[in-house]
Structure 1
Amino acid sequence: MLAYQIQSAGEQAKLREIPVPAPAEGQIRVAIRACGLNFADLLMQKGTYQDTPAAPFTLGLEVAGVVDAVGAGVSHLKPGDRVAVYSGQGGLAQFGVFDAERAVLIPQSCSFEDAAAIQIAYGTSHMALDHRARLQPGETLLVTGAAGGVGLSAVEIGKLMGATVIAQARGADKLAVARAAGADHLIDADEDLRERVLALGGADVVYDAIGGDVFKAAFRATNPEGRLLPIGFAGGEVPQIPANHLLVKNLTVIGFYIGGYLRFRPEVVRNSFETLFAWHAEGRIRPHISHTLPLSEVAQGMALLKARKSTGKVVITI
């Protein structure tokens, strides 16, 4: 089978022919139909992601497809089931073996492309805003990088949870995407973020995927008792948070990493995914996929992420 694989540390990933794997006890083999790309895939290629597997490994963190075979001890899934799997690796291939407990059934109404696009972006936003930040109806949510995969899902989920959403992104085209997802107010990345947010009454919850100066400006525009979620650092700089400023405004900075929950509270991830797929079946969420590419063009998909030329998700079909 074909797999987009890194064979040794520091090596560039490329499509390779490798044997089709067999599922071990507690595992399923999935004939993969779609895999979402993530910024983490770029970091794994550089070896800088916190959960980079030991080489050799196949890239691709979130997959959707059809169960092809089951290992010993698996009784709740069977060949032919349509599943989504937050795999952490192995998704950019024609087949993959994954722990059965990570698989979630997807409704017939949900395409494989949507199922691949929902997991990390929507799972991150749903768990961060609901489980961690406890976003309340009527509060103001500021989303930076609002046209990216996680940012756009945060706009959509924030509106579903009853918040007023301020979306920050670069350029009219990306801001239009955020507005279509439900944003109430738009701020271009070239504008003074702190000034604009304060003029709108300040933010109660900040969902920041950029870091650096953007986080600093959002921090200064947060209302007393506000909560800040440093979700990612796409701008390249991890912000340093002045603890004395937290005290003055009684602010809370909340750490969140969806992959960590797979180790110590996997049921939180499963419950979130089940909620999200139910919302999709009800027509309440619709992932924005700006590019759909075949497995032969996965390098081009990675380049789109690196150059920030995509909005929402890039999905590889297999």
Structure 2
Amino acid sequence: MNRNFTTWSRRSAIGALAATTLAPWAARAQGNTLKSVRIGYQKSSTLTAVLRLQGTLDAQLAPLGFKPSWHEFTSGLPLLEALNLGNVDFSADVADTVPVFAQAAGARLTFVAQEAPSPTAQAILVKADSPLRRVAELKGRKIGFAKAAGAHYLLIAALEKAGLSLNDIEPAYLTPADGRAAFERGAIDAWVVWDPFLSAAQRQSGARVLADGQGLASYQRYYLAGTPFAQANPRVLGVLYAALEKTGRWVKLQPREAAALLAPFWGLDAAIVEQANARRSYAVRAVTRERLAEQQRIADAFLAAKLLPRRVDAQQVELFQPEV
């Protein structure tokens, strides 16, 4: 597949921006005829959470005949499974590992946007009083992490650098909530997780970072759409892309305001949210084939670990290319 979805010319971008002033009238005129853009997200989908809380997408999508609806998932893999099945139309950011598993399952997905690397926003954690000091000491230990998440690849890369593999540890596939509970009661020796769960564990229980993604996994997060939806609704994707890009800049420029907005929604202290947000780039950008290079390394690592049913060509995907 080598087709690019090119849309949102300068004229259409200006037109869509101007149309937002007519959104209240448009929504009333259309009554209940607005179609839903079903947006799937995770707790770590910061920019999507901000858009939901601010309510700005309603006004931006109404002129196109759409309205957002919001659907929360525990992690990226079930979210992309839902996207592939057509149960949601658009996926908020998932870790770079997740699309690889979706590709291996034959999913028809379009890459809409990518966040620039945030390697310190995921880490291998141990308790403050743990005797473990080096990744090599994880041999024979029980480690919790979410299957197919960025944390999964970080663990593979960290173990490989230490001369180990997944065969040398006891894996425990756990959602973030279950991972936190297992970590705190000592049912696992280490926990691999991402922000804001990472920052929460550090601040609330004094968890110690054994290793983060620096030099191991750049941790780029992706926004995707089902390809049939992308082909039928490129203008909708243009609105979503522009909104995410703008929101990413706002979160970085207004860290305290963003943290105050997100804290009650996430059920976390604002200080935890601010720390988590400081480690994420939130730099939303277009996906190019050159920027997919690490995707191939991730795919090959999971294939070598016998976790993929077949080899994945990371370049064989659909790309949405917004014009500015």
Q: TM-score, normalised by structure 2?
A: 0.33
Q: Higher helix share goes to which structure?
A: 2
Q: Which protein has greater RCO, CA pairs closer than 8 Å, 6+ apart?
A: 2
